[in-house]
Chain A
Amino acid sequence: MPFLKALNVESKTKQGIHKSKGGLIRSFVTVEKGNIKDIEISGDFFLFPEEALFKILEQLKGTQANREEIQKSIERIYEKERIQSPGTLPSDFTESIMKALEA
């Protein structure tokens, strides 16, 4: 029941793994009241400038935990920080996060 789900304040970190052409992307996501509360991403992908990943993570905190909003948040930072990530697209990060959410 969605009502009960919304009241459930206990949040658990879930893991998602997705392999892009550029490498493995592991996501650890905690959701609270339908929003991403905490998120970490690790893996052997490439992304320049490297520090921009932390900006993506900051942007994602508080984002609604659905594919569209997650993708939008990531794309926004890609544009703002002029991120280049050979073999890895914003949608690969989204996919990894979605796998965590669906875990």
Chain B
Amino acid sequence: METWRFIDFGPVDIRNMMAMDEAILKGDGGNTFFFWTPKKSIILGFFQKAELELNLTNCKDYTITRRISGGGIAFSDDRGRQINYGVVETIGNELLPLDIIESYKQICGVIIDALIHYGLNAGFRPINDVVINTPYLNTGIRSKKISGNAQTRWEGKLLQNGTLLLDFDIKEMLRILNTPKEKFLDKKIASIEEGLTWLDRELGEKLDMEDIKDVMKRKFEERFHIKLKTGKLNAKEINITNSLLPKYYSHEWVFR
């Protein structure tokens, strides 16, 4: 059975993490599945503008950077209950099709399989969301997003990043976003709670994050019919990372 690399970067400064993320994509370390735990931070999508999206005066104690993939803000509060993952894989094979949405679906499947393992009715919502489906009234299904994902591609490989929310501070998110001041904050929070959810809330208990990561690892191995072996960045990746660090720390990149 093929062996792919696994790395758990642990708690990390997201500027360093985004440099390593890009280095894994552009390096020669092979197919890799990795986790990290962001400190209090905001990651902008490639096409977003910080001053439009954020209430910058309220973001003073946040580390802010930008990633190389599109999509929306990835916000991490200081609760630290988020599992962030990255995947670098060659595309255009039977396990990972070239089609963008199909490839999202395949990798998001790892998260879905893990959530199903915990008894939740999880599913994929194109383009790039994992949702929890619950019966709603008598008529239908309500889908709440529990995981957001973003993908980019480079020379026959894809890089997908995503987050699985275990807990989430909606009030704090509203504070840092540049959303118009609402008169009824509770109402706003209630409406977000209808479209967004997190694992602790769905399960009614706080599971150990390491256990959930182990389940995800196992589901990843099953889905891609491979064995994960813990490794680290190689010399070339470290060189690329070092050359990329100034970008992720720069005002020009973050506030362009």
Binding site for B on A (CB under 8 A): 21-23, 26, 41-50, 53, 84, 86-87
Contact = CB atoms under 8 A, between A and B. Distances in A.
Contacts of B49: 26, 42
B48 interface: yes
Contacts of B209: none
Interface residues of B, number: 22
Specify which of B47, B68, B151 lies most central, judged by the most chain A CB atoms within 10 Å of its CB. Answer: B47
Nearest to A26: B52
Closest 10 CB pairs between A and B? A44-B72, A46-B70, A42-B49, A86-B100, A86-B127, A87-B127, A50-B46, A44-B45, A42-B47, A43-B47
Contact of B127 (A46, A48, A49, A50): A46
Describe B's contact surface by its main secondary structure: loop
Contact of B152 (A26, A42, A50): A50
Given A42-B47, A45-B47, A86-B100, 16 more contacts: A26-B49, A41-B47, A42-B49, A43-B47, A44-B48, A44-B70, A44-B71, A46-B150, A48-B152, A49-B153, A50-B69, A50-B70, A50-B152, A86-B126, A86-B127, A87-B126
Specify which of A41, A44, A87 lies most central, judged by the most chain B CB atoms within 10 Å of its CB. Answer: A44
21 contacts: A22-B127, A23-B72, A26-B49, A42-B49, A42-B52, A44-B45, A44-B70, A44-B72, A45-B70, A46-B69, A46-B70, A46-B150, A46-B151, A47-B47, A48-B152, A49-B153, A50-B47, A50-B69, A86-B126, A86-B127, A87-B127
Specify which of A23, A45, A46 lies most central, judged by the most chain B CB atoms within 10 Å of its CB. Answer: A46
Nearest to B68: A50
A27 B150 CA distance: 22
A84 to B, nearest CB: 6
Contacts of A47: 47, 70
B226 interface: no
Contacts of A46: 69-71, 100, 127-128, 150-151
A89 B247 CA distance: 30
A45 B128 CA distance: 11
B101 interface: yes
Contacts of B150: 46
Nearest to A53: B47
Interface in B56-70: 68-70
B52 A23 contact: no
A43 B218 CA distance: 35
Contacts of B47: 41-45, 47, 50, 53
Contacts of B127: 21-22, 46, 86-87
A43 B48 contact: yes
Contacts of A53: 47
Contacts of A22: 127
Given A22-B127, A86-B127, A48 B153 contact: yes
A46 B67 CA distance: 12
